[in-house]
């Protein structure tokens, strides 16, 4: 991104950047970790690096037929060490020579052997070249191998398995036209949100390919008739959670014998979460019904004991494909195109600091804010509302239709700020804490939390065009941090994260830095202090912020939370009925409406210029300039194609309208904005 900014400086005369701004930019450059020297120029994006293209295997890639063998390449000792960790040493030594001799070659989708219909569908989605995990994975999967694919967040793992899976169904007459009694392909994911996301991706590919394949999704605890309706036919592809499939089997809606006869490909997505979300028993029981000849794929962003256990349980002599792996160096954990920053302040001053960075326009939109509790989300929402910053909240308490709709609305650009409660780690902790199941049940009952156990907002969800991730509360582990900030910088996009760290959170922050490979002795910094926020700028806002913060009482939060839940329960029913008919009508309900009882005071909406010091004004200009240079979609690499796409993609067309509607609604709620 910095190189990109460098280019934009040449064009910025009209914007009025002065020497201070350039100093600021340079300061920002200096403070950035060396690894974040990423560019808006696609030729240097995260995926073109040789270092990132990795394939591991048995048998060696050289035994594969061309053109596959050239795609599988080792380029560093680190990669070989990775291999040694997980495979047979002799085999590695055998392969080492082959691998070192091979040339790195970037392959196109055509060269990977994908069907023209799928390539056309990808072109319509503006996807023209495979990511490394797709380059490496697709040929193996097309060959029918069992595969474990491990790659960073946002690296395109979903298409890495969807494309070859669909190709198999498209090309194999037996599979697609055979009168089976159960689905031919099954995709198991840990959460409802992921289920919806994967389902939408498959559906959209099928529609764009114009083929007669049927896909169905099912989650939660559906009734017998819901299961029977979903599986009538049966669909070719079934997207679900392990618990739900188990339910279909135990109620007889899915006959074990039919599964044995029909199932050809099974995919376990976000495999590292399946056990921690409590599906261990389901998966163990399900194993008995999976035919031996069934091809199994296991996708995950990190490695863990759970992934290993699943691999042993389901896969036969698998190919293990891994992109740079967690463990050795920071570049290999977090996508290179994400810049990481932090701000240190007291717990009490967190509201003040987030207000300063949002209100003074010091970060790019869209912004995804993570909190650890639902109450904190509402505190933040109510607080920001008073300053004219509207946001939606997302948490496990909300009805499923609302959650899905909120995600879709955010992805379509209906609102810019989403405050998500990430309690997935607490959920994991709940799983490991406590001695017996009974105790766990008791404590859960005691808490009376009506949270959806299939909710998962952090892992795997493909938030579109989120530029900034803010950790308002720090996650409780380094892995949680990696997954949170992985919601930005997806695929070829750039992004940044800002962690607001209180003294109480310093311990976990240090842990995170260590995990990312920060090393003071070698002058390696992974998370730099946020460079655009001046102390003065914060202090100027203090009085107003503290005044408003005092009005956001515990009672106000409780009431807002209850009100939001009531709204969303009503919404959810409407959504259910309406969206069966109009699945793309996203603007029916607004999720970012105001919850404060007191209307926001007009004087808090705009920060008067005299309150903003000149350096901060320059910083804000600099952020706006960057935004303009990057284009609204944060997709500079797509160039003219992005414009072509806009007309054809209902989501894009919709978001353009949505922007107008959003402006109108804003004026209605806050009053028309004065022209400066
Ligand atoms: N070849 C490609 N070129 C450009 N964009 C791509 C490509 N493949 C996938 N994408 C896009 O990249 C984004 C991230 O992909 P995906 O959700 O599959 O990542 P992931 O590796 O599964 O991440 P996570 O581990 O967080 O689940 C999606 O928006 C997807 O449409």
Summarised one tens digit per residue, pLDDT across range 451-479 is 455 556 666 788 888 999 999 999 988 87
- What is the DSSP annotation of 525-570? -SSEEPTT--HHHHHHHHHHHHHHHHHS-HHHHHHHHHHHHHHHHH
Q: How far is CA 4 from CA 43, 625, 630, 640, in A?
A: 12, 11, 8, 18
Q: How far is the CA of 24 from the centre of ligand 1 (A)?
A: 33
Comparing 34-38, 426-430, 480-484, 549-553, the range with the smallest average pLDDT is 34-38
Q: How far is the CA of 485 from the centre of ligand 1 (A)?
A: 15
Interacting residues of 460 by C-beta distance below 8 A, sequence separation 6+: 189, 190, 191, 193, 194, 197, 269, 270, 273, 301
**Residue 631: predicted pLDDT:** 58
Interacting residues of 158 by C-beta distance below 8 A, sequence separation 6+: 197, 198, 201, 269, 299, 462
Q: Is the confidence at residue 30, as pLDDT, over 70? A: no
Q: Is the confidence at residue 80, as pLDDT, over 90? A: no
- Nearest residue by C-alpha to atom 25 in ligand 1: 153
Confidence tier at 622 by pLDDT (50, 70, 90): confident
d(CA 387, CA 323): 43
Please state the atom number of ligand 1 nearest to the C-alpha of residue 486: 26
Tokens of 58: 């048995």
- Nearest residue by C-alpha to atom 29 in ligand 1: 462
Comparing 143-152, 461-470, 642-651, the range with the smallest average pLDDT is 642-651
- Nearest residue by C-alpha to atom 12 in ligand 1: 491
Confidence tier at 611 by pLDDT (50, 70, 90): low
Q: How far is the CA of 156 from the centre of ligand 1 (A)?
A: 3
Burial group, residue 627, by CB count within 10 angstroms (0-12, 13-18, 19+): middle
Q: How far is the CA of 543 from the centre of ligand 1 (A)?
A: 43
In the predicted model, what is the mean pLDDT of the chain?
A: 72
Q: How far is the CA of 402 from the centre of ligand 1 (A)?
A: 24
Q: What is the DSSP letter of 599?
A: P
Q: Given the structure tokens 């600021």, which residue do they identify?
A: 24
Q: Is the confidence at residue 400, as pLDDT, over 70? A: yes
Q: Using alpha carbons only, what angle is made at residue 54 by residues 52 and 59, rounded to the nearest 5 degrees?
A: 180
Q: How far is CA 612 from CA 28, 388, 540, 543, 608, in A?
A: 20, 17, 7, 14, 7
Q: How far is the CA of 267 from the centre of ligand 1 (A)?
A: 16
Q: How far is the CA of 117 from the centre of ligand 1 (A)?
A: 20
- Nearest residue by C-alpha to atom 4 in ligand 1: 127
- What is the DSSP annotation of 408-460? HHHHTTS-SEEEEE--HHHHHHHHHSSSSHHHHHHHHHHHT----TT--SSSS
- Nearest residue by C-alpha to atom 8 in ligand 1: 156
- Nearest residue by C-alpha to atom 13 in ligand 1: 491
- Nearest residue by C-alpha to atom 30 in ligand 1: 156
The pTM of this model reads 0.69
> Which residue from 119, 491, 495, 641 has its CB within 8 A of the most atoms of ligand 1, so it is best to mutate?
491
Q: How far is the CA of 159 from the centre of ligand 1 (A)?
A: 7
Tokens of 624: 């706006």
Angle between helices 19-31 and 614-630 (to 10 degrees): 70
Average pLDDT over residues 353-360: 94
Name which of 453, 613, 560, 546 is nearest 24 in CA terms: 613
Q: Please say whether the beta carbons of 192 and 403 come within 8 A.
A: yes
**Residue 120: predicted pLDDT:** 95
Q: How far is CA 135 from CA 68, 111, 486, in A?
A: 9, 9, 21
State which of 164-168, 255-259, 403-407 shows the largest mean pLDDT. Answer: 164-168
Q: How far is the CA of 131 from the centre of ligand 1 (A)?
A: 8
- Nearest residue by C-alpha to atom 11 in ligand 1: 491
Q: Is the confidence at residue 295, as pLDDT, over 90? A: yes
Name which of 303, 317, 417 is nearest 357 in CA terms: 417
339 forms beta bridges with 496
Name which of 419, 416, 378, 462 is nearest 193 in CA terms: 462
Pocket (CB within 6 angstroms of ligand 1): 127, 129-131, 134, 151, 153-159, 301, 460, 462, 486, 490-492
Dihedral sign from CA coordinates of 372, 378, 384, 390: positive
Tokens of 328: 């050795």
Percent of the chain at pLDDT exceeding 90 = 33
Q: How far is the CA of 425 from the centre of ligand 1 (A)?
A: 23
Cis ω on the peptide bond leading into residue 154 (within 30° of 0)? no
Q: Given the structure tokens 């009085």, which residue do they identify?
A: 543
Please state the atom number of ligand 1 nearest to the C-alpha of residue 130: 1
**Residue 227: predicted pLDDT:** 92
Average pLDDT over residues 368-382: 94
Tokens of 469: 């991730």
Confidence tier at 178 by pLDDT (50, 70, 90): low
Beta strands 215-218 and 185-188, pairing class: unpaired
Burial group, residue 210, by CB count within 10 angstroms (0-12, 13-18, 19+): exposed
**Residue 355: predicted pLDDT:** 95
Interacting residues of 385 by C-beta distance below 8 A, sequence separation 6+: 391, 594, 595, 596, 600
Confidence tier at 119 by pLDDT (50, 70, 90): very high
Confidence tier at 328 by pLDDT (50, 70, 90): very low
Average pLDDT over residues 281-292: 91
Q: Is 476 helix (H, G, I), strand (E, B) or coil?
A: coil
Q: How far is the CA of 342 from the centre of ligand 1 (A)?
A: 26
pLDDT digits (tens, 9 = 90+) for 236-264: 999 999 999 999 999 999 999 999 988 99
- Nearest residue by C-alpha to atom 22 in ligand 1: 157
> Which residue from 159, 202, 274, 651 has its CB within 8 A of the most atoms of ligand 1, so it is best to mutate?
159
| Longest CA span, the chain | 75
Please state the atom number of ligand 1 nearest to the C-alpha of residue 158: 18
Q: Is the confidence at residue 508, as pLDDT, over 50? A: yes
Q: How far is the CA of 158 from the centre of ligand 1 (A)?
A: 6
SS3 per-residue string spanning 383-412: HHHCCCCCCEEECCCCCHHHHHHHHHHHHC
Confidence tier at 641 by pLDDT (50, 70, 90): very low
Q: How far is CA 481 from CA 137, 344, 528, in A?
A: 27, 16, 15
Cis ω on the peptide bond leading into residue 384 (within 30° of 0)? no
Q: Is the confidence at residue 391, as pLDDT, over 60? A: yes
Average pLDDT over residues 310-338: 72
Q: Cα-flanking dihedrals φ and ψ of residue 110, to 5°?
A: -60, -45
Which ipTM did the prediction report?
0.98
Q: How far is the CA of 64 from the centre of ligand 1 (A)?
A: 26
d(CA 57, CA 141): 13
d(CA 500, CA 527): 12
Please state the atom number of ligand 1 nearest to the C-alpha of residue 201: 31
- Nearest residue by C-alpha to atom 5 in ligand 1: 491
Q: How far is the CA of 503 from the centre of ligand 1 (A)?
A: 35
- Nearest residue by C-alpha to atom 31 in ligand 1: 156
**Residue 409: predicted pLDDT:** 85
Neighbours of 632 (CB within 10 A): 14
Confidence tier at 85 by pLDDT (50, 70, 90): very low
Q: Please say whether the beta carbons of 263 and 182 come within 8 A.
A: yes
**Residue 90: predicted pLDDT:** 30
Confidence tier at 308 by pLDDT (50, 70, 90): confident
Name which of 607, 570, 564 is nearest 379 in CA terms: 564
> Which residue from 111, 161, 164, 462 has its CB within 8 A of the most atoms of ligand 1, so it is best to mutate?
462
Higher pLDDT, 416 or 453: 416
Q: How far is the CA of 157 from the centre of ligand 1 (A)?
A: 6
């Amino acid at each position: 991104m910095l190189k990109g900014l460098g280019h934009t400086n040449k064009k910025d005369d009209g914007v009025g950047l002065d020497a201070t701004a350039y100093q600021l930019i340079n300061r920002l450059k200096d403070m950035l970790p060396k690894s974040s020297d990423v560019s808006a120029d696609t030729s240097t994006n995260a995926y073109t690096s040789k270092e990132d293209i990795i394939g591991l295997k048995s048998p060696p890639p050289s035994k594969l037929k061309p053109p596959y063998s050239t795609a599988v390449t080792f380029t560093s000792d680190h990669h070989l060490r990775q291999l040694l960790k997980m495979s047979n040493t002799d085999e590695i030594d055998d392969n080492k020579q082959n691998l070192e001799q091979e040339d790195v070659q970037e392959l196109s989708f055509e060269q990977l052997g994908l069907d023209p219909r799928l390539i056309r569908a990808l072109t319509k989605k503006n996807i023209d070249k495979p990511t490394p995990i797709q380059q490496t994975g697709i040929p193996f999967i097309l060959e029918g191998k069992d595969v474990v694919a491990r790659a960073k967040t946002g690296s395109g793992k979903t298409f890495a398995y969807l494309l070859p899976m669909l190709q198999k169904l498209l090309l194999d007459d037996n599979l697609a036209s055979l009168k089976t009694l159960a689905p031919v392909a099954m995709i198991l994911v840990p959460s409802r949100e992921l289920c919806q996301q994967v389902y939408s991706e498959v559906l959209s590919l099928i529609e764009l390919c114009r083929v007669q394949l049927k896909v169905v999704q099912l989650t939660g605890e559906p009734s017998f008739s819901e299961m029977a309706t979903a599986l009538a036919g049966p669909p070719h592809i079934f997207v679900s959670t392990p618990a739900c499939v188990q339910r279909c089997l135990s109620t007889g809606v899915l006959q074990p014998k039919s599964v044995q006869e029909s199932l050809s490909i099974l995919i376990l997505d976000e495999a590292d979460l399946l056990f921690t979300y409590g599906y261990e028993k389901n998966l163990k029981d399900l194993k008995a019904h999976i035919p031996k000849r069934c091809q199994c794929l296991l996708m995950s962003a990190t490695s863990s004991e759970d992934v290993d256990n699943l691999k042993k349980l389901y896969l036969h002599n698998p190919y293990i494909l891994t992109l740079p792996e967690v463990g050795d160096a920071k570049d290999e954990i977090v996508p290179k195109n994400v810049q990481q920053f932090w701000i240190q302040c007291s717990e009490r001053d967190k509201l003040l600091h987030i207000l300063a960075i949002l209100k003074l326009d010091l970060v790019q939109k869209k912004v995804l804010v993570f909190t650890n509790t639902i109450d904190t989300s509402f505190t933040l929402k109510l607080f920001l509302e008073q300053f004219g910053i509207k946001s939606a909240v997302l948490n496990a308490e909300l009805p499923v239709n609302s959650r899905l709709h909120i995600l879709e609305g955010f992805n379509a650009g209906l609102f810019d700020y989403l405050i998500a409660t990430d309690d997935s780690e607490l959920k994991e902790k709940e799983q490991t804490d406590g001695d017996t199941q009974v105790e766990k049940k008791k404590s859960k009952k005691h808490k009376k939390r009506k949270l959806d156990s299939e909710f998962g907002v952090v892992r795997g969800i493909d938030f579109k065009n989120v530029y900034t991730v803010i950790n308002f509360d720090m996650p409780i582990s380094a892995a949680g941090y990696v997954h949170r900030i992985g919601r930005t910088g997806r695929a070829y996009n750039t992004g940044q994260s800002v962690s607001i760290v209180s003294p109480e959170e310093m311990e976990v922050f240090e842990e995170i830095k260590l995990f990312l490979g920060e090393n003071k002795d070698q002058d390696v910094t992974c998370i730099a202090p946020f460079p655009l926020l001046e102390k003065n700028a914060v202090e100027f806002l203090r009085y107003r912020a503290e005044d408003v913060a005092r009005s956001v009482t515990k009672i106000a939060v409780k009431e807002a939370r209850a009100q939001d839940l009531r709204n969303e329960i009503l919404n959810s029913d409407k959504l259910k009925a309406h969206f069966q008919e109009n699945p793309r009508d996203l603007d029916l309900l607004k999720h970012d409406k105001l919850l404060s009882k007191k209307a926001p005071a007009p004087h808090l909406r705009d920060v008067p210029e005299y309150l903003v010091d000149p350096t901060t004004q320059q910083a804000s200009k600099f952020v706006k300039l960057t935004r303009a240079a990057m284009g609204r979609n944060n997709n500079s690499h797509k160039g003219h194609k992005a414009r072509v796409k806009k007309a054809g993609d209902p989501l894009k067309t919709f978001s353009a309208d949505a922007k107008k509607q959003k402006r109108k609604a804003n004026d209605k709620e806050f009053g028309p904005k004065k022209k400066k």
